[in-house]
Amino acid sequence: MAAVDVALKEALQVDGATAAAVVDGSSGMTLAAAGGSRDFDVSVAAAANTDVLRAKMRTIEMLNLTDSIEDILVTLDTQYHLIRPVSGHGGRGLFIYLVLDKRRANLALARHRLRMIEGSFEM
Per-residue pLDDT of 31-83, as tens digits, reads: 999 999 999 999 999 999 999 999 999 999 999 999 999 999 999 999 999 99
Helix, strand, or coil (residue 5): helix
Please state, in angstroms and as integers, the Cα–Cα distance from residue 104 to each residue in 17, 51, 70, 89, 99, following that order.
8, 27, 23, 33, 12
pLDDT (tens digit per residue) in 6-42: 889 999 999 999 999 999 998 999 999 999 999 999 9
Q: How many domains does the chain divide into?
A: 1
Q: Which residues form the domain of 106?
A: 2-119
Give me the helix-helix angle, 107-119 and 2-12, nearest 10°.
Answer: 170
Here the CATH number for the domain that contains residue 61 is 3.30.450.30
Q: Where are the extended beta strands (E) located within 1-123?
A: 17-24, 30-35, 72-75, 79-85, 94-101
